[in-house]
Amino acid sequence: MRNQMQENKNPEVNQVEKMENRRTVIPAADIFENPREIWMLVDMPGVAEKDVEVHFEKQAIRIAGKIVPPDKDWRRTLREYSPTDFERSFKLPSGLDVAKFTAEFDNGVLTLHLPKSAEHQPHKVAINTKK
């Protein structure tokens, strides 16, 4: 086995080494809405928090992340964990309070809270009785 790995004659290793190009994946997402905010969950397994970016421009939010292989001084003998880019964009409705957007990243799941501006939230109208 050691000779096969050193000489790179193992057919499985040769096949996997051909997968050198990065692949792009559209991450799964769930979006929820209530009268006060939009809440988004975006699944990016294997992505480190430092490799996640969120940008908002022209009523669209763009979410991107990347899996970066470990930078070690080792010789690879099998490659199934390929470098991957995650990217997805969503068109958002008007009336959001961009300054209050927040993002959290935990266990490969990005959670976005996109509050609606006060003028776009429902308000209860007081009813006065005539005397």
In a domain, residue 129? The reply is no
Please indicate, yes or no, if residue 11 is contained in any of the structural domains.
yes
Domain presence at residue 7: yes
**Residue 99 domain-assigned (yes or no):** yes
Q: Six-digit token pair at 4?
A: 């096969």
Q: Is residue 131 part of a domain?
A: no
* Within-domain flag for 90: yes
CATH number where 38 lies:
2.60.40.790
User: Domain range holding 46?
Assistant: 2-120
Percent of the chain with pLDDT over 90: 51
Q: How many domains does the chain have?
A: 1
Give the pLDDT of residue 21. 65
pLDDT tens-digit profile of 67-94?
A: 877 777 777 788 777 788 999 999 999 9
pTM summary value:
0.70
**Domain membership flag for residue 18:** yes
* Residue 104 within any structural domain of the chain: yes
Confidence tier at 130 by pLDDT (50, 70, 90): confident
